[in-house]
């Protein structure tokens, strides 16, 4: 099982292009981990891959 320190984080393609509003995500074991790139040791949350797909589908529809 991956620990949080072992996750391969990357900047989400949905983050702003200015570099100041960045969301990073990491995929592991059917889940998506999400954090603020400016606060890498700060709060983060985990959702299922299907919940993440639903979220992105709703964001993209706007």
Chunked mean pLDDT (size 10), the chain, 62 residues:
71 66 88 90 94 89 66
* Best CA proximity match to 40, nearest among 30, 52, 26, 55: 26
pLDDT at 19: 60
pTM, whole model, 2 decimals?
0.73
Domain positions in the chain? 4-60
Q: What is the DSSP string of the chain?
A: ---GGG---EE-TTS-TTSSS-EEEEEETTEEEEEEGGGTTS-EEEEEHHHHHHHHHHHHT-
pLDDT number for residue 39: 87
């Amino acid at each position: 099982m991956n620990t949080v320190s072992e996750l391969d984080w990357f900047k989400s393609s949905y983050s702003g292009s200015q570099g100041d509003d960045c969301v990073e995500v990491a995929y592991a074991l059917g889940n998506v981990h999400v954090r603020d790139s400016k606060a890498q040791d700060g709060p983060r949350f985990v959702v299922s891959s299907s919940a993440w797909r639903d979220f992105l589908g709703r964001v993209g529809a706007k």
